[in-house]
Structure 1
Amino acid sequence: MARTDRDHRTRIQVQVGLLPEQDALFRQFAGMCRLVYNLGLEQKATWGRKHRLCYVAQAADLTKLRAEFDWVRAVYVSCQQQALRDLDRAFRNFSAGRASFPRPRRRGVDDSFRFPGREVAVKRLNGNWSAVRLPKIGWVKFRDSRPIRGVVKNVTVSLDAVGWHVAFTCEIVHEALAPGSEVVGIDRGVATTLALSTGEMLTMPASLEWIEARKRKAQCVVARRKRGSNRRRRALARVARLQARQARIRRDFHNRAALDIARRYGVAVFEDLNTRGMTTSAEGTIAEPGRNVRQKAGLNRTILAAGWHLFATILTYKMEQRGGQVVTVPARFTSQTCAACGAVDARSRESQARFVCVGCGHTDHADINAAINIRRRWNTSLLDVKGVHRQPVEASTGRDLPISENPHPSGRGRC
């Protein structure tokens, strides 16, 4: 399969080294962009339906606001316009049903601002450091951990628990690469993060559990501190640093796993999971309270911590860079279907990790068995097992599995 050169956008995030006056400017820019966003949100919530406010109308109001107040004009206008563009995109996502109603940005949580790429400049200082020139701020040094390649489309400055970071969104023309010819099925889980149809199993680094234990202890310290005190503020900062470290470890794991898969395979097949539905709370209502609420809440946290959607997003763009593709198949019965004979029975799942078919006796790791089923469902409506096409049905319904060619085998079940 031939492939031509294509443009792809890549995000390169680096850590910056700030002078004290630059740190103050960064906080001023972030605070003003947050204010503009929240003012625009309040304006839309109050007058949006009646006047149909769009980005152009709010940008015109921003011009009037800058003319009236010097402290608003002190911050670069493009950063404020980018905040309004973010707000407009948030409302479009809400209207399309892709997101909930936009919420106000908060200090300490949404500290960021963005410049268009055409308004910044980047230069190399030495082997370890480079610098970026930001309007009304000046040259800012950053550690040159990754080369800035291609055309810089925008530059985002953000603050997390570790410090300030600069993210370059670059448009890069990738050379034509021959994609792999193999197809791999990928089962995403909790105990085993990723299981491949080839028999490989990838799990999150064990250091995450160690950091999680430290984070729980730090959260207990926060609970004992008095609200509003400096000691509570320092304890909260410690929890935030541990959470940021966990997020970086997860993202590093996802990037390494996705790159390895994209290099070896031409097609990656996922099951179409409804993560939002899977992580719904079990609290119920006052009239009908839920059961096992704490257990379900713990499972929800584990599912969300695995980052299933993040991994799929990272793998998709890495596969596209190499001419491959990512496809999804229906998730129904992938964990209950035998990869050897096609029988569907919930009793075959002896435990979380062990799959033993009640029909043919096939034994395998449950996640590997599911990954093989996911792989076989690619580009076909029926599960093709050893030349026999079958429509999976639930064993609990009492209906037999239709068999087109082979006679009924003897034994505990049909396959």
Structure 2
Amino acid sequence: MIQRGYRYKLKPTPAQERLFAQCAGVCRLIYNLALEQRRDHWRAFKRQTGSSISYPSQARELTELRAEYDWIATVSQTCQQQALRDLDRAYQNWFKGIASYPSPRKKGRNDTFRFQGREVRVRKLNGTWSEVRLPKIGWVRFRDTRPLRGKVNNATISLAPNGWHVSFTLAIEHDAPANIAPEVGVDRGVANTLALSTGERISVPASLAALERRQRTAQRVLSRRKRGSKRYAKARARVSALSARRARIRKDWHHRVSLDLARRFGTVVLEDLNTKGMTASARGTVDEPGRNVRQKAGLNRSILNQGWHIFEALLSYKLEERGGELIKVPARHTSQTCSACGAVDSRSRKSQAHFVCTSCGHFENADTNAAKMILRRNTASMLVEEGHRVSVEARTIGEAKSQTGNLRPSGRGRRVVITFLPAKSPLLHAERIPKNSSYVAKQLLPFL
């Protein structure tokens, strides 16, 4: 059983659009009232009742609120209950430490509401159009771009800069087949969005750069408008439309590329990158201001424009659906290590695009070389290519991967690693590992 989301563009009537706005506004109000209650009144509630505020207690109060106010009762109760569930899930994630504290929902940013799957019905009209029946709203047409499959768990209505959309969450019966396709290493970069160990290099569409320039122009126009005026609203809508168009183009490209990789390869190896840390601001503090702030801001925009995280998320579920596997390995020194001899030297990276090994003279595109090293870090057997012997480093990484599934750096000790060259002359270089003499001896003995 797998969970998949199908999104379609709605074509509501003007009356239905008003109902959509009303439902989104009421659900947003219920969410914010419940958030205020949990944030500011939980102590008084616990003194009076002896228990904490939870979803069941707020659902009971919602029933009383609907009986008191008709304009709240006109909106489906399920949508309001789903808003309370969203808040409860947000608090659970905050308690677990995997999300920040819940924030209030805002008009223009959180225009959304959700129905349970048992309450909605979908029927086909023709080859292009279908319609969905929503409680207290009626039948709404949508552009049918692909057939639904599986059982509908819920339906979410949301407002985007280009109109209202419906997203169906589906439970689909699926058995992943055995995948015997080859492996590939993928290096994510800025100049080349993706570089494969096969030698292929893929980049995001060039139209994104042109749209970014148009968006910056629109943002400068917006900055000169008076807040609250009609011209401000028009300029803000223009900026939102351009930003949403960029996001759609980028996401479509990631869908197509990740699907192609999932079909061609059984195992995809990526670097374990901390994108959030890599795109942190360099401004620093008032006492200790940062350096090269503008340059770092430009690099951050370039990294975020590539969409590394969304590519990883899409590729993960597409591989899982086809019986494949996504593996992440440490990114340390992948761009400075020679894929032919294993020598680590920062001087080998001559430029962004050129890699010339200072030890063996091997030259190759720098991103392709890094992708090959990423692939080799997956398992020791991948290091045996073109007659090369397995190095101590490769054996260590292979054993760690088989035990934990993802090797992570640890410790502050140092060790000497022997990497055998094609000419059978050992190259010595140092890497960080835990301080453990017996561990080092165990790894070196088979080669001495």
TM-score by length of structure 1 reads 0.91
1:155–1:81 distance in 2 versus 1, CA, 3 Å: same
* One-letter amino acid matched to 1:159: L
Cα deviation, 1:115-159, whole Å, max 9, x if unaligned, reads 111110000011111000000000000011111111111101000
Shift in alpha-carbon separation, 1:387–1:238, aligned structure 2, 3 A? same
Partner of 1:389: 391
1:137 to 1:344, Cα distance in 2 relative to 1, 3 A = same
Write the distance in 1 (CA, Å) between the matches of 2:414 and 2:132. Answer: 68
Higher relative contact order (CA 8 A, sep 6+): 1
CA distance in 2, matches of 1:189, 1:41: 40
140-149 vs 350-359, greater mean Cα deviation: 350-359
Deviations 1:51-71 (A, max 9, x none): 532222221221222122111
What TM-score do you get using the length of structure 2 for normalisation? 0.85
Pair 1:263–1:409, CA change in 2 (3 A): closer
| Structure 1 stretches lacking a partner, 5+ long | 1-6
Is the Cα contact below 8 Å between 2:16 and 2:137 reproduced in 1?
yes
What do the CA deviations read for 1:18-40 (whole angstroms, capped 9, x no partner)? 11100000000001111111111
> For the residues of structure 1 that align with 2:115 and 2:54, how far apart are their CA atoms?
21
Contact 2:334/2:370, CA 8 A, preserved across alignment: yes
Indicate the SS of the match to 1:281. coil
Matched with 1:4 is: none
Aligned residues: 403
1:342–1:383 CA contact under 8 A, matched in 2: no
Residue 30 of structure 2 corresponds to 36
TM-superposition CA deviations, 1:165-200 (whole Å, max 9, x none): 111111222365442421111111122111111111
Taking the TM superposition and a 5 Å limit, the aligned residue runs for 1:13-412 are: 13-48=7-42, 51-174=51-174, 177-380=177-380, 386-391=388-393, 402-403=418-419, 406-407=424-425
Give the conservation status (yes or no) of the 8 Å contact 2:383–2:389: no
Equivalent residues of 2:418, 2:426 under 8 A apart:
no
Q: Secondary structure at the match of 1:205?
A: coil
Q: 1:225 to 1:130 in 2, by over 3 A?
A: same
| Correspondence for 1:3 | none
2:441 matched residue in structure 1: none
Q: Determine if contact 2:25/2:107 at 8 Å carries over to the other structure.
A: yes
Gap change, CA 1:22 and 1:403, over 3 Å in 2: closer
After superposing the two structures, state which structure 1 stretch, 47-56 or 292-301, moved more. Answer: 47-56
Deviation at 1:347, TM superposition (A): 1.2
Q: Distance in 2 between matches of 1:127 and 1:181?
A: 36
Q: Which amino acid aligns with 2:41?
A: W
Aligned-residue offset at 1:100 = 1.2
Greater Cα offset, 260-269 or 51-60:
51-60
CA RMSD of aligned residues (A): 2.4
Q: Is the 8 A contact 2:420 2:427 kept in 1?
A: no
Identity percentage of aligned residues: 56
1:11 matched to 2:29? The reply is no
Cα distance in structure 2, aligned partners of 1:330 and 1:398: 17
Q: CA deviation at 1:302?
A: 2.1
Gap change, CA 1:201 and 1:55, over 3 Å in 2: same
The 1:174–1:290 alpha-carbon spacing in structure 2 relative to 1, beyond 3 Å, is same
- Give, as a single letter, the amino acid of the residue that structure 2 aligns with 1:42: E
Distance 1:272 1:138, change over 3 A: same
Structure 1 range deviating more: 316-325 or 383-392: 383-392
The SS at the match of 1:285 is: coil
Q: Which moved more, 1:133-142 or 1:350-359?
A: 350-359
Provide the secondary structure at the position in 1 that maps to 2:154. Answer: strand
Match of 1:402, SS state, is strand
